[in-house]
A and B are shown apart, each in its own frame.
Chain A
Amino acid sequence: DTAVSQTPKYLVTQMGNDKSIKCEQNLGHDTMYWYKQDSKKFLKIMFSYNNKELIINETVPNRFSPKSPDKAHLNLHINSLELGDSAVYFCASSQGGTSDTQYFGPGTRLTVL
């Protein structure tokens, strides 16, 4: 019973390519997030969606575009991949309201060659 799942787990691609990472949560949560963890393990929020609406949008290159087809899914599309995009990307979800706990997925390791 995976709560937050991501696909793929590993993604290796060439510079300049376009790729997508998919995220799904089966917790019934209203809010979903994308985080980037760099090679030094520093975690930084990128985006947050609530009920398919973008509510947090940190300073991220516009090559990154999140898409939420429904509140259980939040996908991340990356155009024109660069070497510096290599990182682990985590999806997370939370119920909101009085519950602040964020549940993280297993991560997608993106390597740009």
Chain B
Amino acid sequence: GENVEQHPSTLSVQEGDSAVIKCTYSDSASNYFPWYKQELGKGPQLIIDIRSNVGEKKDQRIAVTLNKTAKHFSLHITETQPEDSAVYFCAASIGTSGSARQLTFGSGTQLTVLP
């Protein structure tokens, strides 16, 4: 089955700096790669996703890049703010089982933005 590795496990940055979180996946058939943000005591929330036919996607301060050859994808957050502090999860999905997406998650990155 799919295996997703995520690094680093913790990341501290100064407010205004950039943060980068990296993930690798094992199954070359994976074609959907979402990123989730989980704040303390809450459920994960999708912040951005990318499909295998796209190399990069950007939404304001957040961008994701995908390298299918190397089987890795990264989350980039620019101009970090204290409210960006949370646990971030990457995930990969091979395809749909009917209408369901079976997501395999990375182990999470605790991002702390220092004021």
A71 to chain B, nearest CB (A): 11
Q: Is B100 an interface residue (CB 8 A)?
A: yes
Chain A interface main SS type: strand
Chain A residue contacts of B49, Cβ below 8 A: 100-101
- In the complex, what residues of A have CB within 8 A of residue B89's CB? 43
A43 to B102, CA, bound (A): 12
Contact A48 to B44, CB < 8 A, known contacts A41-B87, A43-B89: no
What are the residues of chain B within 8 A of A4 when measuring CB–CB?
43
Describe B's contact surface by its main secondary structure.
strand
Query: Do residues B43 and A31 form an inter-chain contact, with CB atoms below 8 A?
Result: no
Which residues of chain B are near A103, meaning CB under 8 Å? Answer: 46
Asked if B107 lies at the interface with its beta carbon under 8 angstroms from chain A, I say yes
A102 near B98 with CB under 8 A, answer: no
The reply to whether A43 and B99 contact each other, CB–CB distance below 8 Å, is no
A96 pairs with B87, CB closer than 8 A: no
Q: In the complex the two chains form, is B44's CB within 8 Å of A56's CB? A: no
Q: Quick one: closest A residue to B87, CB to CB?
A: A41
Q: Taking A42-B108, A102-B46, A107-B42 as contacts, is the C-beta distance between A31 and B99 under 8 angstroms? A: yes
Note all chain A residues with C-beta closer than 8 A to B107. 40-42
Point out residues on A near B: beta carbons under 8 Å: 4, 30-31, 33, 40-45, 48, 50, 55-56, 90, 92, 94-97, 100-107
Given A41-B38, A102-B46, A106-B41, 4 further pairs, Cβ under 8 A = A43-B105, A50-B99, A55-B100, A102-B34
